[in-house]
Amino acid sequence: MTGDLFAGLARDPSVERITEGALLLRAFVSEEEAAQLMAGIETVLAASPLRHMQTPGGFRMSVAMSNCGRFGWVTDRRGYRYQSLDPLAERDWPPMPDAFMALAVRAAETAGFAGFDPDACLVNRYDPGARMSLHQDKNEQDMAQPIVSVSLGLPATFLFGGMARTDKPQRMRLESGDVVVWGGAARLAFHGIDTLRDGEHALTGRCRYNLTFRRAR
């Protein structure tokens, strides 16, 4: 991504620059696309249901998770990793819906990351009270590929920090249809989601879905 391209994007009122290598694309997902994504989520979860995974330290995650694509991100007592088999269903993760792939590629390209080829999509459901502590996405083999994160449903407060956990994070409100893309200098930035407040959304009801696209292998 060139500096000139980034500067041009940052002048678009629907694009917010978070830091070098990270953009927030406001209202990037149309209502029609959002409906297609929700239909895709239902298909994915019918094959690989949501579950509350356990961290290596033995803590139950408050966010319910599943995956689609060639690889899925999992955590348990053995650690954080990607694997091709769903340990709950004991079969391959469901394929990534076409609508998922098309949106992820378009968002990455809009943010200046052409050629994004995700092989994993983490599906997270946040119910009121759920949160995601600050963390880095560093289990992927190809750090040259960006991360694309799509918000659907209830609004949430996104935390985007620096390269150290102790760096004070920026706080920004994510609405349904917003997409965050980060890579390059920001690829290993710490990020998370603050505790989700209760509410009701026409698209998802009393919860928030997040789709995180990555190139795992």
**pLDDT one-digit tens code per residue, 43-72:** 999 999 999 999 999 999 999 999 999 999
User: What is the residue-averaged pLDDT of the chain?
Assistant: 94
Reported as a pLDDT band with limits 50, 70 and 90, residue 12 is low
Question: What amino acid is encoded at 131 in this protein?
Answer: R
100-116 pLDDT per residue, tens: 999 999 999 999 999 99
Specify the pLDDT at position 152. Answer: 98
- State CA 27 to chain mean position distance: 15
Q: What does the alpha-carbon distance between residue 132 and residue 75 come to, in Å, rounded to a whole number?
A: 14
Reported as a pLDDT band with limits 50, 70 and 90, residue 13 is low
Q: 60 Cβ partners below 8 Å, 6+ apart?
A: 52, 53, 54
CATH fourth-level superfamily of 3-214: Alpha-ketoglutarate-dependent dioxygenase AlkB-like (2.60.120.590)
pTM score, two decimals?
0.94
Ordered by start, the domain boundaries in the chain are: 3-214
Q: Bridge-partner residues for 147, per DSSP? A: 182
159-172 pLDDT per residue, tens: 999 999 999 999 99
| 98-110 helix and 31-47 helix, angle to the nearest 10 degrees | 130
Q: Smallest Cα–Cα separation from 129: which of 53, 63, 58, 50?
A: 63
Q: Is 8 a residue whose pLDDT tops 50?
A: no
Q: Is 134 a residue whose pLDDT tops 80?
A: yes
Phi-psi region of 112 (alpha: psi -120 to 50; beta: other; left: phi over 0): left
Q: What does the alpha-carbon distance between residue 127 and residue 154 come to, in Å, rounded to a whole number?
A: 9
Q: Smallest Cα–Cα separation from 67: which of 36, 97, 99?
A: 97
Q: Is 9 a residue whose pLDDT tops 80?
A: no
